[in-house]
Amino acid sequence: MTADSAVETLSYPEADTVSDLVARAIDRGAMVTLFGRCTVEYDGRAASSLGPGDRHVTLKPDGAALVHTDEGQQPVNWQPPGCDHAVAVTDGALEVHSERSNPAETLDVTFETVAHAAAFDVSDPEELAVTGTEADLKDRILAEPDLVEAGFTPLATERETPAGAVDIYGEDATGRTVVVELKRRRVGPDAVGQLDRYVGALERDLHAQTEVRGILVAPSVTDRARQLLAKKGLEFVSLEPTQ
């Protein structure tokens, strides 16, 4: 066993020893991870069972519980935040219980053996800051419309059309209507088709003589998308969501 003020770890411990570590961790609001051979039973909105297998279990201070196998990024079983965790030893096996009251759901993990157990006193006050979104791209253009082209003037965002909401609706230096479709990453023909539908919808919605230009703004496009843009008379501007 190793321990300091923030971390406790155990390798191939007895069930009673793990139970004591987990119980103390739950009481003080620590994060717990367990790895070993176990079975999993879930009962709630449905019911499921997992036979014996090597799995990784995480119990979080907010009440979430996650059961992972060696495949994929998603847990095979889980409980959301707000659940109550408990631990016990029955007939030499470690039993981890997670219970949610509304709706009524239980997750029971029974360890035949525990290869590794750890408890962490976690401090993480920072919030995830997501950058590079379509909203970032929109903000760049609204702050500096000439990034689309010289003389471009945004008039509205999320303008509704029969085909859906246009990201940016504006006009060019000559007064022609411009539809700008924003994408935060490299795109293919689907994005071109979406822009074409917006242009068509506005041409039908506005005065019959109104010319509507369509501009796709994204970091890059595929060769097929570039060919389709040319075929439909649409345009492309390469622009990253952030500088």
127 domain residue, yes or no: no
207 domain residue, yes or no: yes
Structure tokens at 231: 């075929």
Considering just the CA atoms, what is the radius of gyration of the chain in Å? Answer: 28
Contacts 24+ apart (CB under 8 A), 50-54: 50/76, 50/77, 52/112, 54/115
128 domain residue, yes or no: no
C-alpha 33/C-alpha 93 separation (Å) is: 17
Q: Give yes or no: residues 138 and 33 share one domain.
A: no
Could you count the other beta carbons within 10 Å of the beta carbon of residue 75?
17
Q: Give yes or no: residues 93 and 140 share one domain.
A: no
Of 97, 120, 143, the residue that ends a domain is 120
Q: Give yes or no: residues 232 and 138 share one domain.
A: yes
C-alpha 75/C-alpha 90 separation (Å) is: 26
Return the residue matching tokens 């007895």. 14
Say which residues have a Cβ less than 8 Å from residue 140's Cβ, sequence separation at least 6: 147, 239, 241, 242, 243
126 domain residue, yes or no: no
Q: How many domains does the chain have?
A: 2
- The DSSP bridge partners found for residue 9 are 2, 118
Of 120, 145, 177, the residue that ends a domain is 120
Are the beta carbons of 36 and 113 closer than 8 angstroms?
yes
Q: Give yes or no: residues 111 and 157 share one domain.
A: no
Query: Which H/E stretch holds residue 17?
Result: helix 15-28
Q: How far is CA 120 from the centre of its chain?
A: 24
Structure tokens at 59: 């119990």
C-alpha 159/C-alpha 168 separation (Å) is: 7
Q: Which domain holds residue 169?
A: 134-238
pTM of the model: 0.58
pLDDT tens digit sequence for 190-237: 999 999 999 999 988 887 678 899 999 999 999 999 999 999 999 999
Return left, alpha or beta for 138; rule: phi > 0 is left, psi -120 to 50 is alpha, else beta: alpha
Q: Give yes or no: residues 49 and 90 share one domain.
A: yes
Q: Is 149 helix (H, G, I), strand (E, B) or coil?
A: coil
pLDDT tens digit sequence for 112-162: 999 999 999 987 777 766 668 899 999 999 999 999 999 999 999 999 988
pLDDT tens digit sequence for 120-132: 998 777 776 666 8
